[in-house]
């Protein structure tokens, strides 16, 4: 089976001209749909095959997918807010966190502790913070992503 996914296919998530980020679980890649020069994400499944996608609206150059190690990753997000050139994401628990970012973060922190760049990865727009970077403490956690000056 073949087809494609477009931003306008997502009722209630993509207004005319809005951008939607997509995380495709099968290959762990992120894509952006919609906006200027909109393109579709081609899909191809074998008979009886399946794939799983998480979609999130792009806001201020960021789309939070939530916990990538959960089937409903966005449910792991309690809140998110922008302030002072940073995005704070409150999570219900630690896990493999993912977000699409227009550009590489200047700093990533968990519960106020700055992570070394080796404790997370950023490539092709996808920021991934593995569960191990959160430490052993249970319960809600705060992840803070700081952007370089000049960020919208």
For 67-101, write each residue's pLDDT tens digit.
999 989 999 999 999 998 999 999 999 999 999 99
User: Do the beta carbons of residue 136 and residue 111 sit within 8 Å?
Assistant: no
User: Do the beta carbons of residue 88 and residue 64 sit within 8 Å?
Assistant: no
Average pLDDT for 90-115: 97
Rounded percentage of the chain residues whose pLDDT exceeds 90: 68
pLDDT at 138 (0 to 100): 93
pLDDT at 29 (0 to 100): 95
Average pLDDT for 108-121: 97
17-55, pLDDT tens digit by residue? 678 999 999 999 999 988 766 678 888 888 888 889 999
Rounded percentage of the chain residues whose pLDDT exceeds 70: 91
Whether residue 56 has pLDDT greater than 50: yes
Q: Which two tokens stand for residue 46?
A: 């074998």
- The span from the CA of 18 to the CA of 35, in Å, is 5
DSSP state of 119: G
In the chain the beta strands, taken as DSSP E runs, fall at 2-5, 19-24, 29-34, 41-44, 53-57, 62-67, 77-83, 86-91, 97-101, 107-110, 113-114, 121-123, 126-129, 141-146
Average model confidence (pLDDT) across the chain:
90
Confidence at 131, pLDDT banded by 50, 70, 90: very high
């Amino acid at each position: 089976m073949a087809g494609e996914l477009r931003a306008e296919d997502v009722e209630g998530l993509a207004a005319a001209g809005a951008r939607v980020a997509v995380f495709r679980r099968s290959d762990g890649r992120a894509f952006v749909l919609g906006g200027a020069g909109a393109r579709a994400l081609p899909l191809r499944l074998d008979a009886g095959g399946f794939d799983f996608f998480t979609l999130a609206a792009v806001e201020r150059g960021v789309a939070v997918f939530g916990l990538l190690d959960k089937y409903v990753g966005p449910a792991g997000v309690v809140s998110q807010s922008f302030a002072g050139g940073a995005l704070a994401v409150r999570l219900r628990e630690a896990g493999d966190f993912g977000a699409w970012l227009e550009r590489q973060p200047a700093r990533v922190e968990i519960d106020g502790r700055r992570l070394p760049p080796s404790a997370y990865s950023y490539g092709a727009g996808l920021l991934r913070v593995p569960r191990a970077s959160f430490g052993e403490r249970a319960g809600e956690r705060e992840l803070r992503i700081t952007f370089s000056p000049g960020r919208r």
